Amino acid sequence: MSLPPASDERWIEVSNTLNRDGFSVLPGVLDSHQCKELIESYDHCRFRSTINMARYGFGSGEYKYFSYPLPPALTELRPQAYDRLVGLANDWYAAMGKPDRFPAAHSDFLKRCHDAGQTRPTPLILKYGSGDYNTLHQDIYGDNVFPLQMAILLSDPADFDGGEFVLTEQRPRQQSRANVVQLAQGDAVIFAVRERPVRGTKGVYRVQHRHGVSRLHRGSRFTVGVIFHDAA
């Protein structure tokens, strides 16, 4: 697992891009060996829940929520990424006039979630085959919501066609804007869970976000989702 130190200037670039676009790509968060281990865990790890997307109208394909303890790579990554993002999360909440603030340590934020009945882990692994896709959605899970999350591509892009990561942005009284994010194996995209503040001529307004995956045309595609709040 390779995250730049919190003091690294790359995090300034990530924050600037998140403020501008609502998403930012961070290359090489997981190496090929870690990606392979997580893909192999799909058939061997202990999960708390398996979701058939077609059954619930979420698209086509399957995903599984990890149980605690998380796999080692995610156990290390989740709090470290939270540490790098919590300052921006608090800036966003302040700009949107929300009274809540997030504690500096991820363990303290999870305690807040658990005290409110959000005790189920939310990191998940998603599996797509030919013809599968994921409809546009938001990962909320309860009243305690950290406003940023990560998705990491585990598969080699040479092993599939289609299956692009798609983000939409809805500004007030405007048509939705879509972004397609290209990732290499091990790259992470960091993005807004639900909304972010944008400064306009009349002050700050809230931009709504959704994300999904376009239809896969060939091969298979695995992704890990790192969500920082737990589920009710």
The pLDDT of residue 98: 95
Q: Which residues contact 146 (CB under 8 A, 6 or more apart)?
A: 82, 89, 102, 109, 193, 227, 228, 229
Both structure tokens of 225: 């989702």
The pLDDT of residue 172: 81
DSSP class of 128: E
**What is the C-alpha to C-alpha distance for residues 166 and 176, in angstroms, rounded to an integer?**
12
The pLDDT of residue 203: 87
Per-residue pLDDT of the chain (232 residues; tens, 9 = 90+): 678 888 889 899 999 999 999 999 999 999 999 999 999 999 988 899 999 999 999 999 999 999 999 999 999 999 999 999 999 999 999 999 999 999 999 999 999 999 999 999 999 999 999 999 999 999 999 999 999 999 999 999 999 999 999 999 998 878 889 999 999 999 999 999 999 999 888 889 999 999 999 999 999 999 999 999 999 9
Q: Please give the model's pTM, rounded to 2 decimal places.
A: 0.95
Question: 């690294």: which residue's tokens?
Answer: 8
The pLDDT of residue 200: 85
Strand, coil or helix: what is 75? helix
According to DSSP, the residues that pair with 211 across neighbouring strands are 137, 167
The pLDDT of residue 118: 98
**What is the C-alpha to C-alpha distance for residues 28 and 40, in angstroms, rounded to an integer?**
19
Q: Which residues contact 9 (CB under 8 A, 6 or more apart)?
A: none
* Cis-peptide, bond into residue 172, ω within 30° of zero: no
Q: Give alpha helix (H) positions in 22-71.
A: 32-41, 53-56
The pLDDT of residue 171: 84
The pLDDT of residue 178: 95
The pLDDT of residue 45: 87
